Amino acid sequence: MERTVKRGLGEIAFDMAIFIILAVSVIYTAVADPTKLKPSFLLTLDSVRDIMPTLLLSVFLAGLADVWLTREIVERYLVFRSNAKGFIIVTLAGIATPGTLFEVLPFIAILRRRGLKASSTVAFMTGQTLMGPMRTPLEIKYMGLSYYVFRVGLAVLLGVITGFMALPFERWVEGGPNN
């Protein structure tokens, strides 16, 4: 298994920055208008309760992917030369992935750890964000098959375009010129 347990200094700093922003927001609200603090906390707790099942499911599915998806599987099915065909395939894979981007991000992180290139990740995320299999039946029912096919075509086109747009930055995103 390729899982690394150690967190980098950058990850810890990012988490601390989020915590500091949260603390400053709470302190500001408590000083500026203390009557808004309790409703804010209650809304936060309601939101956490609403989102927790989805978050747990997405993290669990990412854990399954971490265990079952090997680098060889990802390289065989999703890692291609940076060409239009490769970007079309990863964009279609993104379109076929159910859920919101929020739910899919842990899975995408696993794909990245298993070798999915930055440009392919951009194409995948573009397709996943623009389309989704869960709403396909309703879109076809209410908007028509030709409309749906047109939307899929546009999503694929945009996935390919964003994949190519990411290519010049891929070395930088992947960690430097030596990668």
In contact, 125 and 165? CB cutoff 8 Å: no
pTM of the model: 0.74
User: Between the CA of residue 127 and those of 112, 154, 157, 177, what are the distances in Å?
Assistant: 16, 9, 9, 28
From the list 133, 74, 146, 82, the residue with the least C-alpha distance to 109 is 74
Residues in contact with 159: Cβ distance below 8 Å, sequence separation at least 6, in sequence order = 87, 88, 90, 91, 94, 123, 124, 126, 127, 130
Q: pLDDT tens for residues 28-49?
A: 999 999 999 999 999 999 999 9
Question: What's the Rg (C-alpha) of the chain?
Answer: 20
For the residues 58-69, what does the mean pLDDT come to?
A: 87
pLDDT digits (tens, 9 = 90+) for 127-151: 999 998 888 999 999 999 999 999 9
| Percent of the chain whose pLDDT exceeds 70 | 93
Q: Is the pLDDT score of 103 beyond 80? A: yes
Query: In the prediction, which pLDDT does 165 show?
Result: 95
